A and B are shown apart, each in its own frame.
Chain A
Amino acid sequence: METQIWTYIMVGVTFGIYLAVAFWAKAGSTKEFYVAGGGVHPIANGMATAADWMSAASFLSMAGLISFMGFGGAQYLMGWTGGYVLLALLLAPYLRKFGKFTVPDFIGERYYSKNARLVALICALFVSFTYVVGQMRGVGVAFARFLDVQFETGVLIGIGIVFFYAVLGGMKGITYTQVAQYCVLIFAFTVPAIFISLQMTGNPIPQLGFGGTLKDGTYLLDKLNQLSIDLGFEEYTSVDANNTVNMFFITAALMFGTAGLPHVIVRFFTVPRVKDARTSAGYALVFIAILYTTAPAIAAFARTNFINTVSNTAYMKVPAWFTNWENTGLLKFEDKNSDGVIQYVADKDLNELTIDRDIMVLANPEIANLPAWVVALVVAGGLAAALSTAAGLLLVISTSISHDLLKSYLKPDISEKGELRAARIAIAVAVVGAGLAGLNPPGFVAQVVALAFGLAASSFFPAIILGIFDKRMNREGAVSGMIVGILLTATYIIYFKPQLGGSGTPDGYWFGISPEGIGAFGMLINFIVALLISRLTAAPPKAVQELTESIRYPRRVSSD
């Protein structure tokens, strides 16, 4: 059967499942809408968190990036998983004990300040919105390429689906749909990897096949290193010593950024007990790790297969997938020396092949000659990843508006019913807004993701950590720390990103840190400023000190 038909079937069936789940898990109260009633089982919450976290970028782009970066690609692997250790150990249990709905809630109460809350609110909105636009765009691209519909139609279908289950079910609907989406996406990601691992190394577990031997008895990675050197590239597994400091900072910025992202943190408000918040972070990381340890294996398999298939192959004899991707413009061959043979080498003047890294995961099953249904499955998986992340982000946006803005600022006397209606309207507006922005994305969207992580790391993370671990931390310290951290990080990123209109060049980087890694530096400065200022100003009120004390213990204890 044709790939096209398989794709329609896979996407149709999975979407049907999501809608059925959403209908079943309808939200009746604001508590259900914001935090799924606070009664989600830790394993289900772990799956939902994993689906929420792994976006179209993790699913479609990451393995491709690693396959062209080799060792250096590890910054994404460690950066996007290591933050969960920080979440489980330093944030989740305490925020669960605090027992409110949002990050601005915590900031506002712990620092007894409406302004602090407003700063947090604006950051949360900005971070979530830039993220969600990228997801909607991913949905549009996947539809356009595989279902043969217009890009715009693809985005509209995506809006329709998310609209239905997010508006109806709130966090409850989203959480249970995400559980289903996790199952789809992890199945779709690992099945092709298992096939390819078996094909190349005879080992069905990609994580082991990655370090296994090929048919000719050489280790896969040794072979790949040799191929890379032959074509003039760096060895795949070797360390670029000049990049160590930068890699350190990028990894740190991604880790601390993860631990500071509002749509990830809010997940730990949905479980019943403090104990469950700890466990839930553990399950979430297990579910994430399945994909994140498979991705580098896929990267190495794909790279080896790709080089073997195209390098020094006569252009007339290329396989069908090559021609298909050429038609999309994401793969280009230019016969510079007119010998009709593809020269794929590191030297820019001699190289005849340009590849968009994003196509590796989608093209991989075709390169390895896997059956059509596997290719269709990968498309359904990519859509699941994009939709689940978009839904989680949209919920943060709607909660910020209805709860943090409306209920806390504009109309504190609003009834529960009114707030629930406002939340539904807010999420509807957010879905449509994100969809429209996805249709005409401002050119800087991809660049802004660095900013999102940088801001989360340099603003939220220190403010929350200090709010839990430093009883003496006061409003003055936290607010000045956040402001300095944000300003420093944002200025640096904008200045050094030509796409954002900055005029800086890499020669001017501080200590060689690229804009992607500056969030970690901004975070350090935030910590220092906050600690200094707080010690020079008055201690926080007694009630706040008691609040800080109380979130440290799972059960309320009277200190008699």
Chain B
Amino acid sequence: MSENNINKYWQRNLRYLMILLIIWFTASFGCGILFADTLNTIKLGGFPLGFWFAQQGSIYVFVILIFIYVSWMNKLDKEFDVDEK
């Protein structure tokens, strides 16, 4: 693989990380802490929304983020032929 390709692979990885970490921050620190008070005025069934994000939702988001990352990276590894045989 050329130097150029190696850099491209790494840049793509960094872009994925950026996207996922922004969601990570928004779900937990954003919805669960900074905006929780405002979100609490909205109801999700029996949950005030901010409370739900803080005690339930953020954790579900964390799990989903990791699996999205896994699937993106598996594809990327194949595309650039750096996957483990």
Q: Is the beta-carbon distance between B59 and A212 smaller than 8 angstroms? A: no
Q: Given the complex, which residues of A lie within 8 Å of B50, measured CB to CB?
A: 71, 239
Smallest CB separation, B26 vs chain A (Å): 12
**27 A-B contact pairs sorted by A residue (CB < 8 Å):** A71-B36, A73-B55, A74-B33, A74-B58, A77-B55, A78-B28, A82-B24, A82-B28, A207-B56, A211-B46, A212-B46, A221-B51, A237-B48, A241-B37, A248-B29, A251-B28, A251-B32, A273-B84, A278-B66, A281-B66, A282-B63, A285-B63, A289-B63, A552-B10, A553-B6, A555-B82, A557-B6
When the two chains form their complex, are residues B33 and A555 in contact, meaning their CB atoms are under 8 A apart? Answer: no
Whether A84 and B62, one on each chain, are in contact in the complex, defined by CB atoms closer than 8 angstroms, is yes
B 1-27 contacts with A by CB, 8 A: 1-3, 6, 9-10, 13, 17, 20-21, 24
Tell whether A296 pairs with B56 under 8 Å between CB atoms, given A78-B28, A282-B70, A553-B82. Answer: yes
Q: How far is the CB of A421 from chain B (nearest CB, A)?
A: 33
Name the distance in Å between A519's Cβ and chain B's nearest Cβ.
15
Known interface pairs A211-B52, A282-B66. Does A239 touch B46 (Cβ–Cβ under 8 Å)?
no
* Segment at the interface with B among A85-93, A325-333, A335-343: A85-93
A74 x B54 contact (CB < 8 A): yes
Given A78-B28, A82-B24, A237-B48, decide whether A278 and B73 contact each other with a Cβ distance below 8 A: yes
User: Which of B44, B59, B73 is A77 in contact with, Cβ under 8 Å?
Assistant: B59
Count residues of A near B (Cβ-Cβ below 8 Å).
54
User: Which residue of chain B lies nearest to A557 when distances are taken between CB atoms in the complex?
Assistant: B1
Contacts A71-B54, A557-B1 known; list 15 others, CB within 8 Å.
A73-B55, A74-B55, A82-B58, A212-B45, A241-B37, A248-B29, A248-B33, A273-B84, A285-B62, A285-B66, A289-B63, A293-B56, A296-B55, A554-B82, A555-B85
Q: Does B42 contact A (CB under 8 A)?
A: no
For the complex, is A286 an interface residue (Cβ under 8 Å from B)? yes
Q: Determine if B32 and A74 form an interchain contact, defined as CB atoms under 8 angstroms apart.
A: yes
A220 to B40, CA, bound (A): 16
B62 touching A81 by the CB < 8 A rule? yes
Residue of B nearest to A87 (CB): B66
* Bound form: Cα–Cα A274–B82 in Å: 11
**Could you tell me the distance in whole angstroms from the C-beta of B6 to the nearest C-beta in chain A?**
6
Chain A, range 537-560, C-beta contacts under 8 Å to B: 549, 552-555, 557-560
Contacts of B82 in A (CB 8 A): 553-555, 557
Residue of B nearest to A239 (CB): B37
Give bound CA distance, A463 to B20, whole Å: 22
B77 to chain A, nearest CB (A): 6
Inside 8 A of B29's CB, which chain A residues have their CB?
A: 248, 251-252
Among A85, A220, A241, chain B packs the most CB atoms within 10 A around the CB of A85
Which chain B residues border A311 with CB–CB below 8 Å? none
Q: Which of B38-85 contact A (CB under 8 A)?
A: 40, 44-48, 50-52, 54-56, 58-60, 62-63, 65-67, 69-70, 73-74, 77, 82-85
A292 touches B (CB below 8 Å): yes
Query: Which 5 A-B pairs give the minimum distances between C-beta atoms?
Result: A219-B46, A74-B54, A211-B46, A282-B66, A296-B55
